[in-house]
Amino acid sequence: MRSLREVLNIAQVHNVAVGHFNISDSTQFNAIVEAATSMQLPVLVGVSEGEKNFIGLHNAVALVRAAREQGKEVYLNLDHAHSVEACKEAIDAGFDSVMFDGSKLSFEENVEKTREVVEYAKGDQNASVLVEGELGYIGSSSKMLSAVPEDVEQAMTTAEQAKRFVESTGVDILATSVGNIHGMLKGTTNPSLDINRVSEIARAVPSTFLVLHGGSGVVDSDFTAVIKAGMSIVHINTEIRRAYRKGLEQGLEVDKEQIAPYKYLAQGKSNVEQVVQDRMRLFIKS
Ligand code: G3H
Ligand code: ZN
């Protein structure tokens, strides 16, 4: 199987993006992997700290290994880890990539801790694990929102900061604030993305993979434009969570006596598959 770096190199060269979808359980995992496999596309599965604690660090690794043994091209990312220790643990457990999220720290502290993770990941034994850092604030929750989180607008990433951060840390992947937010606004689409800023950042750090977080609620044309401008990974979580919950509610509603999980979870699973396919179709469109 190709390494994650190889997959991202190809995406970068062809101006397409790899989908990254978060999971909390094995039903969502199966839905994502089946959707990606049916499209013959590689896929990244992510667990944030909360999601990782729920599903289990080693269980997530085991799910990915089992899928790979069946020929599925799936990669595992530790998403938004706030401690260096959590990153080290995931590297040791066999994750393909880890993200140290120091976006709320000062620039200097963010650099220092991110670099510590990079140094650990690049140690001989685990040389293939990719490290992602985050610069600029985009809010913190994958949930339905009533308003754009405070401080987001003032915390947009500049190309100059991105260059300095990449040079000081050695990260493989960079998450930036370019108008994107975590979560989805209720009743409307999310704010539009700053495509020029993405192009400037891509030019400033040409050897780094750029990742768009907060993909839920972004309009289709913005996806196409930012991917063309240089985003090689797109993260989607809120849309997955919402679709899963709606399907679960339907599954429970349709037969109130039903107690077989594989029956009442089925609609949730197929809703998640639908989200993944719809989004992935866009990511390879440009
Ligand atoms: O890391 C996770 C993503 O950035 C998800 O963002 O919930 O807005 O899709 P989202
Ligand atoms: Zn994110």
- CB distance 236 to ligand 1 below 6 Å: yes
Pocket-testing residue among 223, 235, 241, ligand 1, by greatest number of atoms within 8 A of Cβ? 235
Q: CA nearest 279: which of 26, 14, 22, 59? A: 22
Is the Cβ–Cβ distance between 158 and 148 less than 8 Å? Answer: no
Q: Is 232 in the pocket of ligand 1 (CB under 6 A)?
A: no
Per-residue pLDDT of the chain (286 residues; tens, 9 = 90+): 999 999 999 999 999 999 999 999 999 999 999 999 999 999 999 999 999 999 999 999 999 999 999 999 999 999 999 999 999 999 999 999 999 999 999 999 999 999 999 999 998 665 789 999 999 999 989 999 999 998 888 889 999 999 999 999 999 999 999 999 999 999 999 999 999 999 999 999 999 999 999 999 999 999 999 999 999 999 999 999 999 999 999 999 999 999 999 999 999 999 999 999 999 999 998 6
Residue 286 is predicted with a pLDDT of 60
For the CA of 180, the closest atom of ligand 1 is 8
Distance 215 CA to ligand 1 centre (A): 6
pLDDT of 124? 63
What pLDDT does 153 receive?
82
216 token code pair: 């839920």
Ligand 1 atom at minimal distance to the Cα of residue 99: 1
Ligand 1 centroid to Cα of residue 89, in Å, is: 22
Phi-psi region of 152 (alpha: psi -120 to 50; beta: other; left: phi over 0): alpha
CA 5 to chain centre: 15
Please tell me the distance from the alpha carbon of residue 188 to that of residue 166, in angstroms, as a whole number.
34
Decide if 79 is catalytic. yes
Distance (Å) from CA 235 to ligand 1 centroid: 5
231 Cα–ligand 1 center, Å: 15
| pLDDT the model gives residue 151 | 84
Half-sphere exposure of 40 (CA within 13 A, CB side): 0
Counting atoms of ligand 1 from 1, which one is nearest the CA of 184?
A: 8
Length of the chain: 286
